[in-house]
Structure 1
């Protein structure tokens, strides 16, 4: 079992922390308290970014030394919200939050995943009527293998996980967030995920 730090104690972070704790991982959750994120990251092998995407780069860059050598699982989508509070455009067009993080944190193994679904699906993928897909983007094959293991612990079957390749492929999955407001406006907040049908 891994020692995991979850940065962000909102719905996404809290949901993941509870699920990973249930399957036996040692999980700490860092909220906004001073030094909480640094302390949690320093002690963990895997750090999960569940902070708001529009401020993730600044927050995590401040933890450069604590994140050195760690696996950073990035769940966030960096967007500019519209008047209704839903994502309206990408904060890093032509790039992605994951790429920005990897460039800013060269000593950290960034893996993008679980950012193409509403948060309940992250820990209950089998609850959907169709099989969902969790995508992986990252430069380190070893780090992605660790993340695959964590996804398995959360109920993701191996055939539901697709490795897209390097960190630049996160541009595609982050852009998928632009589907979200339209899906929510037509179908409400019922859990859903982007998936690949074969």
Structure 2
């Protein structure tokens, strides 16, 4: 059992919290309120950032002390919405939210994952008709191994998890969010994930 704080209580955060608690972890969920987030992060070994990506950097930098020596799992994408409310463009072109977080929080081990799929797939990957991929980006091998085990607890098979390398590789997976509006307009709001055919 691991002590986990999920920051963000929307569809993403709520779904992850429920699934991780069902897997036997000690999970606390905090909304966007600074006090609640600080309290949750202070006692957790792993913190999951499931807050809207546009405000994640400021929100998490304010928790620098609480996040010291923790594994920060970043599942958010930092985008500006278009007129239809879907992601229009990236806030950090040529970089990524995960890289910005790691630079601003050098005493925190940031791992990027689960940001290349519709939220429902994060906790139910086997419901898709084809095998999905979950990607890991991060500079700390031990932190990535910890997150890999969390993914397995969420129902991800070992062969569905791909370690892309250092935190800079997150800019590739974050850019994949730009597929999302086109996929939704083409085929509707149905579960999907980016997958690498092998």
Q: Do these two structures clear the TM 0.5 threshold for a shared fold by scoring above it?
A: yes
Is 1:96 the equivalent of 2:96? yes
Q: Distance in 2 between matches of 1:34 and 1:153?
A: 29
Is 1:18 the equivalent of 2:18? yes
Counterparts of 1:73-112 in structure 2, within 5 Å, are 73-112=73-112
Residue in 1 that maps onto 2:130: 130
How far residue 34 of structure 1 moved from its aligned partner, in angstroms, is 4.4
Residue in 2 that maps onto 1:63: 63
CA RMSD, aligned part only? 0.5
How far residue 132 of structure 1 moved from its aligned partner, in angstroms, is 0.1
Counterparts of 1:34-183 in structure 2, within 5 Å, are 34-183=34-183
Find the residue that maps to 2:33 and give its secondary structure: coil
How far residue 33 of structure 1 moved from its aligned partner, in angstroms, is 3.5
Residue in 2 that maps onto 1:190: 190
Q: Distance in 2 between matches of 1:102 and 1:29?
A: 22
Residue in 2 that maps onto 1:32: 32
Find the residue that maps to 2:129 and give its secondary structure: coil
How far residue 77 of structure 1 moved from its aligned partner, in angstroms, is 0.3
CA contact (8 A) 2:32 2:51 kept: no
Find the residue that maps to 1:76 and give its secondary structure: coil
How far residue 32 of structure 1 moved from its aligned partner, in angstroms, is 3.0
Could you tell me the TM-score, scaled by structure 1's length?
0.99
* Aligned length, in residue pairs: 198
Q: Distance in 1 between matches of 2:33 and 2:5?
A: 14
Segments of 4+ in structure 1 off by > 3 A?
none
Q: Distance in 1 between matches of 2:20 and 2:75?
A: 15
Could you tell me the TM-score, scaled by structure 2's length?
0.99
